Structures are given as C-alpha cells and as structure tokens.
C-alpha cells in the first residue's frame, strides 16, 4: 500500500506513476476525496465525542442535585428534575449523533482503504513507461554460441531432457495434467544441485536459509500484493481458505507481519526455498512444450527487510548476487529494466535477467529482483523504531531470484554437445558430482 502522506503531499507524482503503469490516474482524486471525507467525519466525531463526555458529567451532576433536593424536600425539586431530564435528553441525542458520525467515519475509512489498494506502488525515478515490450536493456553479458559454425543443429531442452532421462512430460501430464512434469535421474539431481548451489551462495553472503510454508492465509497473500492484478494465477483451497504460493516471497513477506523489527545491525536477509505453484491463467498456447511455463516448480528466493533509505542500494546488491549465480552456470544473458506496466503492484522497480535460449533465438527470464519500498510492509504492518525519533515507521522489502527449475532449460541448451550430452558448468560440478550428462540407453 502506498503512503497516504505521499499522496496528500505530492499527488502529481502518484498520478504520473499511474500513467506510467497504464493505470487510471483519476483514482488519485477519488482517494483524496475519500480521505477528506474520513478526516472530516473523524474530526466531527471527536469534537462531538468530547461534548458528549462533558454532557455526561452534567447529567450526573444534575441527577445528583435532583436526588438530594428530593430527599431533603427542597422547594426547587421540580426545576432540578426538569434540568436533569433536559440533560439526559441532550446526552441521548449526542449519543445517537456520535454513533452516526462514527459509522460515517468507518464507512469513509473503508472506501479509502479499498481505493488505496487499487493503486500500485509508486515507481522510482528512471523506470521506463509502458508495458511488457517497453523494457530497456541495461547490459548484455556473454555471446551466444554459433551452432552453425560448430556444424550441428541444437536440440531444445525437452529433446535433450528426454535423451538424458531427465525430463518426463508425458507421465507428468498423465498424473497431473498439462504443464506438469517429472524430473528424473540426472534431471532431479541437476535441480537439487542448482538449488543447493544457490543456497550455498546465499549463506556465504550472510542470508539466513529458510524452508517456507507453501500455503498461506488470505491476509498474507493480500498483504504481499499477490491478489491485486494477478489473482487469477493463484491456487485457492476454498475449504481451508488458504492459498498456494507462487514464490516464497509471499511467506517471507508475512514472516515479520505485525512486528517491530530491529534493523540497527543492518538488513535482515532471508533465502527461501520452496515449491511454487502458478495457474498460468491467460497463457493458453504459450510455451506448451517443456518446462518453461509450468504449474509447479522449485525456487530459491532472496528476501530482504531494510530501512527505506537503504532500499535502492540493496536492490543493486540483489542484482549483483543474481549476476554471480548466472556467471556460475556460464550462460549468455542480458539485464533489463522492466517497464512500469509490467512491474506488478508491489514493485517500484524491477530488473530481470534473461538467459539466451538457442532453439528459441531469444532471451527468456531466469531471475527478477524487485524493490517494493514500503508497499508490502505497510500492508503487513512490519515496522522499525524510527531512528532518532520515538515513533515507528514501515520498513522496505525487496526480493530476488537465485535459482529456479527454469534454469535447467538454459543450462541444457547452452551446454549441449552434438551427441546430445551436456557439459556441466564447472561451478555446478561439486554440487552435482558429474562433469558431463550423457544420454541414457
């Protein structure tokens, strides 16, 4: 959720962010109007509530005077009774008005809350405007192999996976349906080796490894921002009202929900390993061959809590750690600055690393790292003691991929040999225990 203070003080910046995302900028005016209604109703409620307390004291005093006069037979009993009655009537009237104003303030608050949740995180300076195809290429690393010069036609990852006894899509579909698969033999070993290498790197960089739940409560997945524009991609277990996560980012975003955390020693960095589930709604006909776009996969995800002023620098560190992992698997890749309309609600900026896939003749995403500033933490009420002040403030959260099942695609295709064998990248060999993957049978 964006900072209401930012919206009040700089609405044009929020409008500009909405336009860059391809979203409605007019919602900013609607939010400001709802905010004004809420603040006005609260002001009237508080003023009338103070008057109500004063009148309540007057009722008590008037009733006390009347009772004493009646007991003593004083001549002004009738007048005191009338005064007490008037005070009670006034108190009853105020009580009704206070209830009405409290309800109006609550209703305005709900409207404000609903409207605020429709606004994506305010993008940071430098993010390209536009949609999925409007990214900016920041850097290209490595050179794709020239298979024509090498004298053979490259096989795609599925053909290689079947030769190696590593990927079984047919039985995956038999057991679970389309976009499911088995990793078998060296395929299973390759995924485990890759993910273990990612964890080893993360631990070496000071991350705390975490195996996360893959089912979360509604308030967690909503708080993480995964039920806004992409709710149709999330699996929901209706009987239990739990959601399957598409990344351990969701569970890790909820890890410190409703807590005040200590960041005086620096960022809190976690590396979450989990199975991930995505319905891939809207992807009918896209990437139906192989394991590029599937419903279930494994991933090691970096997740960081830090101070807001440190978030931009931390974002660059996450990108550097992703680059380090990509160097270990020795594949050509490029880094793109994702356009605002393709960020997703929580991210204020996102960098993707895309590996070259020879048989597709294009780059495909392997990693992404997002700076979510205080968006998720505001929703999930994760705070820190404000440095040099007595209050608390929302922290910043960031995330970044270190390895996923999809990396197998790039490894197999970029390191294949004419006979269908695959040379294992040197950094991966100690984790896999093999130098070359050879065809079976």
CA 234/CA 88 separation, integer angstroms? 56
* Residue 45 near residue 101 (C-beta atoms within 8 A): yes
CA 257/CA 269 separation, integer angstroms? 15
CA 424/CA 415 separation, integer angstroms? 7
Kindly name the residue from 21, 278, 349, 379 that is annotated as catalytic. Answer: 278
Which residues, other chains included, contact 153 with Cβ-Cβ below 8 Å and sequence gap of 6+? 147
Closest Cα partner for 412 from 183, 135, 211?
A: 183
Helix orientation angle between 186-204 and 407-414, rounded to the nearest 10 degrees = 110
Element (H, E) at 68: helix 27-72
Q: Please indicate whether residue 293 is annotated as part of the active site.
A: yes
Which residues, other chains included, contact 114 with Cβ-Cβ below 8 Å and sequence gap of 6+? none
Kindly name the residue from 368, 370, 378, 413 that is annotated as catalytic. Answer: 368
Q: Is 262 left (phi over 0), alpha (psi -120 to 50) or beta?
A: beta
Kindly name the residue from 293, 307, 334, 429 that is annotated as catalytic. Answer: 293
Q: Please indicate whether residue 378 is annotated as part of the active site.
A: no
Kindly name the residue from 280, 324, 330, 365 that is annotated as catalytic. Answer: 365
* Residue 15 near residue 28 (C-beta atoms within 8 A): yes
Q: Which token pair is 118?
A: 């429709």
Kindly name the residue from 23, 378, 406, 413 that is annotated as catalytic. Answer: 406
Q: Please indicate whether residue 322 is annotated as part of the active site.
A: no
Q: Please indicate whether residue 323 is annotated as part of the active site.
A: no
Q: Please indicate whether residue 17 is annotated as part of the active site.
A: no
Active site residues: 278, 293, 365, 368, 406
């Amino acid at each position: 959720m964006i900072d209401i203070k930012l919206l009040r003080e700089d609405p044009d910046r929020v409008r500009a962010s909405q336009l860059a995302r391809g979203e409605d900028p007019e919602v900013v005016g609607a939010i400001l109007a709802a905010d004004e209604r809420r603040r006005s109703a609260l002001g009237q409620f508080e003023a009338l509530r103070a008057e109500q307390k004063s009148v309540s004291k007057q009722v008590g005093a008037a009733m006390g005077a009347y009772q004493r006069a009646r007991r003593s037979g004083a001549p002004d009993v009738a007048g005191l009774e009338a005064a007490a009655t008037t005070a009670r009537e006034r108190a009853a009237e105020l009580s009704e008005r206070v209830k009405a104003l409290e309800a109006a303030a609550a209703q305005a608050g709900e409207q404000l809350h609903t409207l605020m949740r429709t606004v994506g995180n305010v993008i940071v300076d430098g993010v390209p405007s536009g949609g999925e195809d409007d990214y900016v290429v920041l850097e290209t690393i490595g050179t794709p192999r020239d298979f024509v010069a090498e004298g053979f036609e490259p096989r795609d990852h599925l053909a290689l996976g079947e030769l190696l006894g590593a990927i079984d899509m047919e039985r995956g579909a038999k057991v679970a349906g389309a976009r499911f698969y088995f990793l078998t033999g060296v395929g299973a070993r390759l995924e485990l080796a890759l993910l273990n290498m990612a964890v080893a790197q993360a631990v070496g960089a000071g991350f705390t490894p975490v195996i996360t739940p893959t089912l979360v409560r509604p308030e967690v997945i909503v708080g993480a921002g995964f039920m806004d524009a992409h709710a149709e991609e999330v699996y929901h277990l209706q009987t239990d009202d739990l959601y399957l996560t598409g990344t351990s980012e969701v569970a890790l975003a909820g890890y410190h929900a409703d807590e005040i955390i200590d960041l005086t020693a620096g960022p809190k960095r976690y590396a979450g390993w989990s199975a991930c589930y995505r319905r891939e709604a809207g992807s009918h006909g896209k990437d139906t061959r192989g394991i590029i776009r599937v419903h279930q996969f494994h991933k090691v995800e970096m997740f960081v809590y830090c101070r807001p002023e440190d978030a931009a620098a931390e974002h660059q560190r996450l990108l550097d750690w992703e680059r380090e992992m990509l160097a270990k698997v020795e594949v050509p890749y490029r880094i793109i600055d994702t356009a605002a309309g393709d960020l997703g609600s929580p991210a204020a900026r996102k960098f993707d690393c895309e590996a070259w896939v020879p048989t597709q003749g294009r780059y495909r995403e392997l990693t992404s790292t997002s700076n979510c500033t205080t968006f998720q933490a505001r929703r999930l009420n994760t705070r820190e003691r404000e440095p040099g002040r007595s209050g608390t403030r929302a922290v910043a959260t960031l995330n970044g991929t270190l390895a996923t099942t999809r990396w197998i695609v790039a490894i197999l295709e970029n390191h294949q040999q004419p006979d269908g064998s695959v040379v294992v990248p040197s950094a991966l060999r100690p984790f896999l225990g093999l130098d070359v993957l050879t065809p079976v049978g």
